[in-house]
Amino acid sequence: MTAVWSPRPTMIRTPTLVAPVVALTVVAAVAAGCSDDSDDPGPDGPTSTSAASPSTPTAAPVTTDVTIRTVTGGRLPRADRDQLRDKIGETVDEWFDAAYLGGDYPRTDFDDAFGVFTPRARAEAVRDTRLMSNAAVGTTTFGVRALARRVRIDVLADSGRAAGVTVQFRLGMARAGDTGAEREERVSGHLYLTYVAGDGWSVFGYDVRRGDL
């Protein structure tokens, strides 16, 4: 039986035109089977970023599989696509590690869990802390290891640049209790990102679910 951490998926949007444009464009692109019209029409190959949680140093590394799935609205040069893929992967990984996988458990400090979120999105995520981090179970968790890390990126391009990004993600993890027994869980959904001067790519909205794996 699936354990649902939140009675409804949560999404917030900042007062910007990026959010509706990204969401609507990506939905339209996926529904129509669109892909970008760059010089190299083939899909980007996956790349890997972060390694295993520090809580399980002897475990085999689980890297994040990051792929750009679609580019709509205009061309995006191959070099820019590769760079964007790496940057978005790093941003999502930072949240994965700070909110769920990193740190020494039992753990009470989750102050940096939402460092890649905009201020408004961060405030909302703090209210959804049972869903968006391990803060609610940090004191009863004695170790965390990653089981799966996947990121799929849909890009809205404008004038040869990325104007907005929607990420479909999946994080699988196993949390060990004081007896050593593990509970396998999944956190999945969508993140909506925009570029913030001085901060880089930041999460301004989300639609996330959490339950048993």
Torsion (CA) 24, 25, 27, 31 in degrees, nearest 10? 130
Q: Which domains does the chain have, with CATH numbers?
A: 43-212 (3.10.450)
Tell me, what's the pLDDT at 61? 82
- Blockwise average pLDDT, block size 10, the chain, 213 residues: 37 39 38 40 50 48 96 95 98 98 96 98 97 97 97 96 97 96 97 97 98 91
Secondary structure class of 12 (helix, strand, coil) = coil
Q: Show the 3-state SS of 77-137.
A: CHHHHHHHHHHHHHHHHHHHHHHHHCCCCCCCCCCCCCCCECHHHHHHHHHCHHHHCCHHH
Tell me, what's the pLDDT at 192? 98
Return d(Cα 143, Cα 138) in angstroms, integer. 9
pTM score, whole prediction: 0.74
Return d(Cα 101, Cα 144) in angstroms, integer. 6
